[in-house]
Structure 1
Amino acid sequence: MAASLILLSVSPGEQRTALLADGVLEAAFVERPSHPEGVGDLHVGRLAARAPAMAGAFVALAGGETGFLPDSDGAKGRTEGEWLRVAITRAAQGGKGPRLAHRPAPEAITGPPRLLSRGPDAALRLAAQHPDALVQTDSAAAAARLRPMLGERVSFSPRPVFDDALEAVFEELAGHEVALQGGGRLTIHPTPALVAIDVDAGGVAGGRDAAAHLSLNQATLAEAARQIRLRHLAGAILLDLAGMPMARRKALLPAMQQAAAADPHLRVVGITGLGLIELQRRRVHTPLHEVLGQPPSALTRGLAALRRGVRQAQARPGAPLVLTAHPAVWQALRDCPGALDAFTQAAGPLTFQADPLCPSGREDIHAG
């Protein structure tokens, strides 16, 4: 059995969680405490409107948000205006509210709509799913929060728990391209309607070696399924293999099903008329490209700069620091509750130097 390790890396405005099995990344989460996705949150809500055509009902939640409660998860037989205790089971998506499930209360529920409790973060969810895994974090506050629930499984590291290699993997998860062993690459393009994944054969492309094409595509299936899982991609997913006639693509379906078997949310639908492998993945958590933005949002760029800046400050403590970035990045950081305060506490005061021409990803924190 693979030895599992959960790493929780906390930086200003953000926490990143990784599950490693024998050193290989098996799960990845990027969470922002100021913008929680809500999965697992427990609410008191009011059934606002029945939706028979959708086999469910809309429920008004705190803060003006509206969630959807399917008949199969507790809406059936309920009446408009009724107060319910509900849990969020699927993160909100593209303007649509979260998916809900009814959670019976031990006593009568009355209004107003309110949040009763937050759901577990990624570290706690992974710890529950992998009870033998140790948890390491570089945040003393996170260690103190987790120890009452996880006990001696939790350890605190004064040094960053993400090494350069793991930081690089998380950077790759934020991008479109994934290099394949042996050459070639995956290109991942999420759209509002579906996710398109293209296989570039690299040096194999244009060759006449059918066995090489087959070997490349067979190796690609496992990596495609892994990337889908790590990125929390959801909905319709189309995978376009490199070369190969339709009959040989169909022959790869059993291998695709085997690769998808490790992910309980992923289902292989079949082959489309154009020869694309069609997959469907149930949405639970927010896909990484929605958290980070595509291209990366001003907040993502700013938080990445703060993350790098904290590491620089640990290497050179006491030096006054300056952030050089586009003004939109600075404004996004100022609008993110607690991010700049957390940086000041960890690394010291930070001043801002505006650069309207600063390219995305080139934000820099340096000694003043």
Structure 2
Amino acid sequence: MAAPLTEIHVSRAPGERRVALLRDGRLEGFRLERPARPDGVGDVVRGRVVAVMPALSGAFVELPGGESGFLPANETEARRLPPEGTRLALRVLRAAQGGKGARVSARVADRPGEGVLARGADQALRWAAQFPDSRVLTDSPAELARLRGALGPRASLGLPLDDVLEAEIEALHGPEVALDGGGRLILSPLPALTAVDVDSGGADPVAVNARAIPEFARQMRLRDLAGPILLDVAGLTTRQRAALEPALRAALGGDSLVEYLGLGPLGLFEMRRRRIHPPLHEVLADQALAQGLAMLRQAAREAAAAPARRMALHAPTPVLEALRALPGALAEYAEAARHELALREAPIPEVTDA
């Protein structure tokens, strides 16, 4: 059996980078990145130990920009925590979440300098390393130059994401996933856990559950869900639900971040997925910025299709302020379109001629 054709598509728009992993044409991975605000995973930084906490088997550290992090004792040489005030090189293992700082490791070669000593690889390069036979395609000459610097001729210029993929990626922004043949998944990320419900929509629950389980595992990867995750399938008695465990285990088998915990007393399948990068719903939590960048992407496409047109973005004040606050986004648009985007306050968002 031939290995699946793996492609990595990198689509660049002002202020953001969308990276899609396709295997035999099917979307199997997605990451939304904002280069001006990287999540820091993989970065090597200069940090300072500010509080050793033996009860927590670790230490709190101060990172560049005044951000905090946590250094576990098992991520230090010989499992010994350095004294308070020590300055050392640290690698970021896990992005910050909520009020919790980044998880860091001191198991990294020291190097001179302060602040950020080295940037970690972005998602396209991580997937390129994971799938060495993959093709890497981008719709951006600037991204092509960057990728070729790391990957050589393996990276090439390609067309933008097609309408089908665009629609599937857009659907990741919402809480519902329609299942082929009927039924749907409803995903509810909460601060403490993520609850996922299978709604049969009146269809045969046995058939709907059979379709829902592999799609649930796929959506968990696409959205980068993390932490405790509970799955409630449609209908079925506790015994009938237990019969679904082999299918669920098989669907989760390719995800090294997942630990399956079993069928709980409430009839819910319980699992835990290790967090590394922020889940997609956290990236999109600033709705004003998400809306502004989507409109900026639309304006950039229209300007590219008609270079003589000068575009204006009409939007509520919070959207305009969010765009102005994101370093480089509006300048990136202006450089590509060869004119600045006019920003105008309006209650209804739209892109028009200036």
TM-score, normalising length: structure 2: 0.95
AA partner of residue 191 (structure 1): L
Deviations 1:100-120 (A, max 9, x none): 11134357x7x8x52101101
Is 1:283–2:286 an aligned residue pair?
no
Q: Partner of 1:203: helix, strand, or coil?
A: coil
- 2: distance between equivalents of 1:51 and 1:190? 31
Deviation of the 1:306 alpha carbon: 0.8
Residue of structure 2 equivalent to 1:90: 94
AA partner of residue 39 (structure 2): E
Deviations 1:14-60 (A, max 9, x none): 00000100000111000001111000000121121112222211111
Residue of structure 2 equivalent to 1:19: 21
TM-score, normalising length: structure 1: 0.91
Deviations 1:250-283 (A, max 9, x none): 1111211111011100121111221111110000
Deviation of the 1:215 alpha carbon: 2.1
- 1: distance between equivalents of 2:110 and 2:73? 21
AA partner of residue 307 (structure 1): R
Residue of structure 2 equivalent to 1:229: 221
- 2: distance between equivalents of 1:135 and 1:365? 31
Alignment of 1:152-163 (within 5 A): 152-157=153-158, 159=159, 161-163=160-162
AA partner of residue 99 (structure 2): G
- 1: distance between equivalents of 2:201 and 2:301? 36
* CA contact 2:88–2:110 (8 Å) conserved in 1: no
Residue of structure 1 equivalent to 2:136: 135
- 1: distance between equivalents of 2:152 and 2:282? 33
- 1: distance between equivalents of 2:329 and 2:108? 37
Is 1:193–2:195 an aligned residue pair?
no
Residue of structure 2 equivalent to 1:208: none
Residue of structure 2 equivalent to 1:174: 173
Residue of structure 1 equivalent to 2:319: 329
Q: Partner of 2:41: helix, strand, or coil?
A: coil
Residue of structure 1 equivalent to 2:353: 367
AA partner of residue 334 (structure 2): T
Residue of structure 2 equivalent to 1:303: 293
Residue of structure 1 equivalent to 2:234: 242
- 1: distance between equivalents of 2:126 and 2:283? 18
AA partner of residue 233 (structure 1): L
- 1: distance between equivalents of 2:95 and 2:225? 12
Is 1:100–2:107 an aligned residue pair?
no
Is 1:351–2:342 an aligned residue pair?
yes
Deviation of the 1:352 alpha carbon: 2.3
Is 1:77–2:80 an aligned residue pair?
yes
Q: Partner of 1:6: helix, strand, or coil?
A: strand
Alignment counterpart, residue 6 of structure 2, candidates 4, 10, 27: 4
AA partner of residue 13 (structure 1): G
CA distance 1:104–1:315, shift in 2 (3 Å): closer
Deviation of the 1:183 alpha carbon: 0.6
Identity %: 48
Deviations 1:125-166 (A, max 9, x none): 110001011111111111111112201101124x4x211111
Deviation of the 1:89 alpha carbon: 0.7
Q: Partner of 1:337: helix, strand, or coil?
A: coil
Residue of structure 2 equivalent to 1:340: 330
AA partner of residue 187 (structure 2): I
- 1: distance between equivalents of 2:91 and 2:343? 41
Q: Partner of 2:202: helix, strand, or coil?
A: helix
AA partner of residue 132 (structure 1): D
Deviations 1:196-237 (A, max 9, x none): 111110131xxxxxxx32221122111001101110000000
* CA contact 2:91–2:108 (8 Å) conserved in 1: no
* CA contact 1:8–1:15 (8 Å) conserved in 2: yes
AA partner of residue 125 (structure 1): R
How many residues align structurally?
349
Alignment counterpart, residue 264 of structure 1, candidates 253, 256, 265: 256
Is 1:125–2:126 an aligned residue pair?
yes
* CA contact 1:4–1:21 (8 Å) conserved in 2: yes
- 2: distance between equivalents of 1:65 and 1:91? 11
Deviations 1:81-103 (A, max 9, x none): 22221100111000211011113
- 2: distance between equivalents of 1:331 and 1:149? 35
* CA contact 1:256–1:268 (8 Å) conserved in 2: no
Alignment counterpart, residue 52 of structure 2, candidates 32, 50, 53: 50
- 2: distance between equivalents of 1:149 and 1:89? 22
AA partner of residue 180 (structure 1): L
AA partner of residue 179 (structure 1): A
AA partner of residue 89 (structure 2): R
Residue of structure 2 equivalent to 1:207: none
AA partner of residue 199 (structure 2): D
